[in-house]
Amino acid sequence: HFRAVLNCDAIGVLFSSYFVPFRNMASLDRVKVLVLGDSGVGKSSLVHLLCNNQVLGKPSWTVGCSVDVRVHDYREGTPEEKTFYIELWDVGGSLGSASSVKSARAVFYNYLNGIILVHDLTNKKSSQNLYRWSLEALNKDSTPTGVIVTNGDYDREQFADIQIPLLIIGTKLDQISENKRSEVLNRTAFLAEDFNAEEINLDCTCPRHLGAGSSNAVKLSRFFDKVIEKRYFSRDGNQIPGFADRKRFGGNTFKSFHYD
């Protein structure tokens, strides 16, 4: 298992350093999946669970971006089975309006193959902000103008033609009482429909929620298969390009890395 913590200054140093640990991984293809959502929704805990199958003991705020790698068997159990690396880019979750914050974060949005949108089931605002996160990543608009309609909702037609695979994950399921759980899940179910994505709701302190054979594990595997298929087996490769190629879609060095 590999993990890197990345920030936003000295970008040339960052990327030249970042790929050094991957030299031993050259035999495996990989895809890049962004993990986006507000601060405090549990992105780091989720990524740790996905990559280590264990609970993150002491979660901390992510500054810049951290990268963890998960090994995934594409189309497991079939003649087409092949092993890939899934790079999970956990992007710091401050959704402030400062253009400097967004422009610094934008470097992490280059060459993405999939997006996991994470929200806190106990925080309605974090669910609503998933629209802004997706627009920022896919369009790289510093301010998504012309998106919010008069009643405060987003014009959901803007998300109908998104080609990048998406997955919606709701966290902190354990903090919702049983008698209110149905109400909350009904309220958030529209997200999956709007983004044309599958939805997983879980408790990041409970690994069995992603246990082998569970419905959540099946959805997760299906999402990663779709990301790989779009990247390597579709005609266009379905990869959002970098700054120079992008048209419509639009204290800080390589801090640390370690192997587990």
pLDDT digits (tens, 9 = 90+) for 223-237: 999 999 999 998 766
The pLDDT score that the predictor gives to residue 241 is: 53
* CA–CA dist 12, 59 (Å, integer): 29
Number of neighbours of residue 70 by Cβ within 10 angstroms: 18
Region 235-247 average pLDDT: 49
Mean pLDDT over the full length of the chain: 79
Q: Which of 42, 38, 34, 36 is nearest to 173 (CA)?
A: 42
**Please, which pLDDT band fits residue 238 given cuts at 50, 70 and 90?**
low
Q: What is the pLDDT of residues 6-43, one digit of tens each?
A: 554 433 333 333 443 444 556 789 999 999 999 999 99
pTM for the model = 0.80
pLDDT for position 59: 81
Higher pLDDT, 96 or 85: 85
Output the pLDDT for position 26: 60
Note the residue count of the chain: 260
Residue-wise DSSP of 90-136 = EE-----S-HHHHHHHHGGGTT--EEEEEEETT-HHHHHTHHHHHHH
pLDDT band at 216 (very low <50, low <70, confident <90, very high): very high
What average pLDDT score do residues 172-181 get?
96
- Tell me what pLDDT residue 256 has: 32
The pLDDT, as a whole number, for residue 9 is: 43
Q: What is the pLDDT of residue 242?
A: 42
Average pLDDT over residues 205-221: 96
95-149 confidence digits (pLDDT tens):
655 566 777 888 899 999 999 999 999 999 999 999 989 988 987 454 444 334 3
